[in-house]
Amino acid sequence: MKNKEKRMGLKKEKRNLKNKKRELRRKKEVQNKQEKRMVLKKLFSIPQPEEYSYESRGYQNLYHYTFGDRIPSILKYGVIIGDVVTGVLSGFNSPNLTTESHFHNPTQKPVSHFEKRDKLYRLTINCPTNSKKLINYGWFDRTYCGGLNLKTVSDNQSLNGDLDKQYIYLGQIDPSMITGIKGWNKQTKCWERFRRQEKKDLCQEYESLKFKHKSIFPFPDFVRICGYRSNDYTGMVKKYYEETDHKDVWKDLYVLSDYILDQGFNDTSYKIRILQQVGTGVRSDSETRNIVNIVFETYNRNVSFSKRIDPDKFTYRLNKTINEYETWLKEVNEKPTEEYEENLRMVS
């Protein structure tokens, strides 16, 4: 009888401990969400002066620069991805626009990506221009970020663009707001209209792909992993991930990193460790492995014993996906263009 009572007591103790942990996680999640709201509220506590607004400066057009491999998703979801760095360990997601129409690279992606990722495109945007939604990037950076982003682009303004002529849009750029698309022709040095058939072919091509990326092996999205992408002003990023992650080579890693964010475990130490892997600008196998290990260890450290993931099984599954992707990537890029286009026509 005493042994039975002892076992019952142990079960009750374990249950109480589990409930306490669950309550602690819930409180941490609530606190994390409250802190996010406070930070975002504080960010825009100072109204944008009239002289910085789009209308008062007399601009005529707004543009968004992107690569061809992003066009199909933009035509479906709109412009919903944009990194706004507010500090060494802080930032949020919001579309970045510019008033400059000449060929340059406000995306700040490597120039080598221009051709690898189906060339550079310029989208003409017609969105609401009131000063509460459309914020001058240069003013915002000086006011809230201590000129952090200005220092980044000032080294090569002719290539990266003028931050004082760029704007942050606090919302989704719906596909209906895109009034024109032109692609850069490096031979003629001109922007050329994106014809209807071209658009149709490109969308069909990416819709039929097994994986998202067919041009370059993608590095894990550290902006998403740290949690900056989830500070989202478009309200569309979560839906986009839900509907497209099955085509992402890092889908298993994002299941863990998203859980870490949802539970509020992405503390300062976690962010620093992730960002240390990308601070040098190197994207090697070593940095990739380190990010995977940090995410995996953080997840297993914060879940109950019964929910912990076996490292060997996780590594096996991840490597299997990577190997499948690399084989597929090689096949896609070796396939003759005419044969590939013919296959697309058959699929459509």
Instruction: Walk along the chain (348 residues) and give the pLDDT tens digit of each residue.
Output: 556 555 666 666 666 666 666 666 665 555 555 444 444 547 888 999 999 999 999 999 999 999 999 999 999 999 999 999 999 899 999 999 999 999 888 877 776 666 667 789 999 999 999 999 999 999 999 999 999 999 888 777 778 899 999 999 999 999 999 999 999 998 999 999 999 999 999 999 999 999 999 988 899 999 999 999 999 999 999 999 999 999 999 999 999 999 999 999 999 999 999 999 997 666 788 999 999 999 999 999 999 999 999 999 999 999 999 999 999 999 988 755 545 455 545 443
117 and 150 together in one domain = yes
> Of the residues 193, 208, 223, which one is the last residue of a structural domain?
208
Give the C-alpha separation, 248 to 253, whole Å: 10
Name the residue range of residue 19's domain.
Answer: 1-43
Count of domains in the chain?
Answer: 3
12 and 62 together in one domain = no
204 and 214 together in one domain = no
154 and 263 together in one domain = no
